[in-house]
C-alpha cells in the first residue's frame, strides 16, 4: 500500500514535469510564430513598395541602407528556418501531449482502485 502510494506520488511529479515541459514548448512556439508573422508582414510590405524606394536594415542600433532583393532573400531564409523550428516544436508538443494523456489515464485508474478500496470502509452512508 505504502509502495503504491509512493508510486502514485512519483507519477504525479512526472505528470507535473511533463505539463511544465508542454507549456514551455507552447510558449516557445508562440514566440516563433509571432516572429514568423512579423516577417510575413514585412515581406508583404516590401512587395508593395515602389522600385526606387530606399530600404534599410537594422544593425544593432543603427540603420544601414540595403538592397531590396537581398533583404527579401534574407527574410525568406529566416522565414524558412522559423517554419522548420515551429514544425519541430509542433511535433514535440504532440508527443508530450500524448505522454501526458497516457500518464493521466494510468493515474486515474490507480486512484479509482484506491478509492474503491478505501470507499468500502468510509463512503457507505
Q: Which residues in this chain contact another protein in the complex, by CB under 8 A?
A: 35, 38-39, 41-42, 45-46, 49, 53-58, 63, 66, 71, 75, 78, 115-116, 118-119, 122-125
Q: Would you mind telling me the total number of residues written for the chain in this entry?
A: 125
- Rounded to a whole number of angstroms, the CA Rg of the chain reads 26
Q: Measured from the CB atom, is 15 or 46 closer to another protein? A: 46
Least gap, CB of 28 to another protein (angstroms): 19
Of the pair 84, 111, the CB lying nearest another protein is at: 111
Q: From the CB of 124, what's the least distance to another protein, in Å?
A: 7
The answer to whether 64 and 56 are in contact (CB under 8 A) is yes
Q: Long-range pairs for 16-19 at CB < 8 Å and ≥24 separation?
A: 18/96, 18/99, 18/100, 18/103, 19/100
CB of 37 to another protein, least distance (A): 9
Q: How far is the CB of 32 from another protein (least distance, A)?
A: 13
Residue with Cβ nearer another protein (26 or 55): 55
Please tell me the distance from the alpha carbon of residue 61 to that of residue 35, in angstroms, as a whole number. 19
- On whether the CB atoms of residues 91 and 27 are closer than 8 A, the answer is no
Nearer to another protein, 17 or 112 (CB): 112
Amino acid at each position: 500500500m505504502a509502495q503504491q502510494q509512493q508510486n502514485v506520488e512519483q507519477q504525479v511529479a512526472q505528470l507535473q514535469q511533463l505539463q511544465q515541459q508542454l507549456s514551455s514548448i507552447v510558449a516557445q512556439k508562440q514566440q516563433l510564430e509571432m516572429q514568423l508573422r512579423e516577417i510575413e508582414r514585412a515581406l508583404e510590405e516590401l512587395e508593395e513598395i515602389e522600385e526606387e524606394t530606399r530600404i534599410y536594415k537594422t544593425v544593432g542600433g543603427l540603420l544601414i541602407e540595403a538592397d531590396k532583393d537581398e533583404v527579401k532573400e534574407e527574410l525568406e531564409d529566416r522565414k524558412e528556418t522559423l517554419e522548420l523550428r515551429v514544425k519541430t516544436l509542433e511535433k514535440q508538443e504532440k508527443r508530450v501531449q500524448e505522454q501526458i494523456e497516457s500518464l493521466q489515464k494510468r493515474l486515474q485508474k490507480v486512484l479509482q482502485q484506491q478509492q474503491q478500496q478505501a470507499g468500502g470502509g468510509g463512503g457507505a452512508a
